[in-house]
């Protein structure tokens, strides 16, 4: 077990921190107001290697892996958590195509995504199938030599800033009845629907995708017909949950910084409130949440890089980090007194952002199902 970052990872961390501190703050007011992701930062992120951080070099990426990706998302999230939210879903599309795509699909989609010229999406959720994937009603009806895609996906990140979509749809019934497709956004019958106005993570676009008889061929299939559940589960549990854990980790970094700075500066009774034990306990709790979330998220990232199975570890990292971020942001607000709920102070945004991370990528209850299944299977009667 090695707790040191490699030289490459430290360099990456430094360059992403500089990028995040210089490039994101001038955009943040606009992101909060309009709820729009700053697409003009995609190119610079491509040049920095972070849109293609997990994409192998043969497909135009830098191939640094998941630990490096976690560092990238954490650093961006420390400044503004909407940035890693959008980027992590883009990475999910990269991972899905890299893991399940044909050579032709990889060559077509991965290099421009790595350069930050195009953006991707993985769209699983639909109104009747959130946690219940099999319950989805978006259908790709098999015809003679094509499929007809009809339905609606909801809560989709990057829905209108992306160039193509990885869609999971029903091609028949049951767990082998789901299939994954790559759908171009200008395909006839495909359109973006309603944009959601979220409480937090405002600068990452979330909304609907609508399909009305979109004609797809076998070339659009990602993986095998009937293999959509595997595409969804692998991309969500390995890339999506880790991505949300790292996003929440970014928020926790911001919580400890904002809480400590305010506590040191604010004076009451003729001294800094950081001298009050009640404030110190809040700070200790935030610090503990940050350190535990970081250990869990880094461990799961290393397991992914070592090709180990890590479903419970990623579910635990995700659910712990997102709940911890919400809990810690609330404590950071309390340290600020009434200042904490004022728009000028970052802590109110941290709480709004943290709350939105909780369902994204799978709810806490679904994480508990993964954890209890892992624990019970260890003690199963033979």
Ligand X SMILES: Cc1cc2nc3c(=O)[nH]c(=O)nc-3n(C[C@H](O)[C@H](O)[C@H](O)COP(=O)(O)OP(=O)(O)OC[C@H]3O[C@@H](n4cnc5c(N)ncnc54)[C@H](O)[C@@H]3O)c2cc1C
Among 16, 119, 335, 360, contact with ligand X (rule: CB under 6 A) = 360
Which window, 16-24, 283-291, 336-344, 363-371, contacts ligand X (CB under 6 A)? 363-371
CB of 359 to ligand X, least distance (A): 4
Decide if 238 contacts 196 (C-beta within 8 A): no
CB of 64 to ligand X, least distance (A): 23
CB of 149 to ligand X, least distance (A): 15
CB-based burial, 166-177: b 16+ in 10 Å, e otherwise: bbbbbbeeeeeb
CB of 368 to ligand X, least distance (A): 8
H or E, element range at 39: none
Which window, 94-102, 109-117, 150-158, 208-216, contacts ligand X (CB under 6 A)? 150-158
Let me know if 243 is exposed, middle or buried by CB neighbors in 10 A (0-12, 13-18, 19+): buried
Greatest CA separation found in the chain?
80
> Interaction with ligand X in 168-227: which residues (CB under 6 A)?
201, 206
Nearer to ligand X, 100 or 155 (CB): 155
Let me know if 111 is exposed, middle or buried by CB neighbors in 10 A (0-12, 13-18, 19+): middle
> Interaction with ligand X in 80-119: which residues (CB under 6 A)?
89
Which window, 110-118, 299-307, 331-339, 354-362, contacts ligand X (CB under 6 A)? 354-362
Among 233, 334, 363, 371, contact with ligand X (rule: CB under 6 A) = 363
Let me know if 343 is exposed, middle or buried by CB neighbors in 10 A (0-12, 13-18, 19+): exposed
Provide the 8-state DSSP code for 188: T
Tell me if 359 contacts ligand X by CB under 6 A. yes
Nearer to ligand X, 156 or 221 (CB): 156
CB of 158 to ligand X, least distance (A): 7
CB of 244 to ligand X, least distance (A): 9
Which window, 16-24, 266-274, 305-313, 355-363, contacts ligand X (CB under 6 A)? 355-363
CB of 85 to ligand X, least distance (A): 6
Nearer to ligand X, 125 or 274 (CB): 125
Which window, 55-63, 73-81, 344-352, 365-373, contacts ligand X (CB under 6 A)? 365-373
- The alpha carbon of residue 347 and the mean position of all alpha carbons in its chain are separated, in whole angstroms, by 21
| H helix runs in 116-240, sequence order | 228-234
CA angle, 377 as apex, 371 and 381 as ends, to 5°?
A: 150
H or E, element range at 191: strand 190-195
Tell me if 362 contacts ligand X by CB under 6 A. yes
d(CA 31, CA 33): 6
First to last CA, the chain: 32
CA angle, 68 as apex, 292 and 310 as ends, to 5°?
A: 55
> Interaction with ligand X in 117-136: which residues (CB under 6 A)?
122-125, 130-131
Number of residues binding to ligand X, judged by CB under 6 A? 21
d(CA 45, CA 73): 12
**Helix pair angle (311-335, 346-357), 10° resolution:** 150
Tell me if 157 contacts ligand X by CB under 6 A. yes
Residue whose C-beta lies closest to ligand X: 130
Q: Report the helix count and the strand count for the chain, using DSSP H and E.
A: 12, 10
Nearer to ligand X, 118 or 274 (CB): 118
Binding site for ligand X (CB under 6 A): 89, 122-125, 130-131, 155-157, 201, 206, 356, 359-363, 365-366, 369
């Amino acid at each position: 077990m090695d707790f040191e970052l490699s030289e490459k990872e430290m360099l990456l961390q430094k360059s992403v921190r500089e990028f995040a501190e210089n490039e994101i703050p001038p955009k943040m007011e606009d992101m909060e107001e309009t709820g729009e992701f700053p697409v003009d930062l995609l190119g610079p992120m491509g040049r920095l290697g972070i849109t293609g951080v997990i994409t192998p070099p043969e497909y135009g990426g830098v191939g640094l892996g998941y630990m490096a990706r976690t560092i990238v998302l954490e650093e961006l999230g420390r400044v503004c958590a909407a940035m890693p939210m959008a980027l992590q879903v883009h990475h999910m599309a990269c991972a899905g195509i890299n893991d399940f795509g044909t050579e032709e699909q990889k060559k077509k989609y991965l290099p421009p995504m790595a350069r930050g010229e195009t953006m991707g999406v993985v769209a699983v959720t639909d109104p009747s199938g959130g946690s219940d994937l099999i319950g989805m009603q978006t259908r790709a009806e098999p015809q003679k030599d094509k499929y007809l895609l009809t339905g609606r996906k909801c809560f989709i990140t990057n829905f209108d800033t992306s160039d193509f979509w990885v869609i999971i749809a029903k091609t028949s019934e049951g767990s082998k009845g789901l299939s994954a497709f790559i759908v171009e956004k200008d395909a006839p019958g495909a359109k973006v629907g309603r944009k959601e106005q979220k409480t937090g993570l405002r600068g990452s676009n979330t909304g609907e995708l609508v399909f009305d008889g979109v004609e797809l061929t076998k070339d659009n299939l990602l993986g095998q017909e009937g293999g959509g559940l595997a595409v969804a589960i692998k991309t969500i549990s390995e890339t999506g949950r880790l991505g949300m854990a790292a996003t929440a980790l970014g928020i926790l970094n911001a919580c400890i910084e904002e809480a400590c700075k305010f506590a040191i500066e604010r004076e009451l009774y003729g001294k800094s409130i950081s001298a009050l034990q009640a404030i110190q306990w809040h700070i200790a709790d935030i610090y503990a949440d940050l350190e535990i979330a970081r250990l869990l998220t880094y461990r799961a990232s290393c397991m992914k890089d070592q090709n180990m199975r890590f479903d419970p570890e990623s579910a635990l990292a995700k659910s712990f980090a997102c709940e911890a971020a919400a809990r810690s942001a609330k404590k950071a607000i309390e340290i600020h007194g009434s200042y904490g709920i004022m728009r000028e102070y970052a802590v109110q945004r941290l709480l709004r952002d943290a709350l939105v991370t909780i369902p994204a990528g799978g709810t806490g209850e679904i994480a508990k199902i993964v954890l209890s299944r892992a624990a019970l299977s260890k003690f199963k009667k033979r």
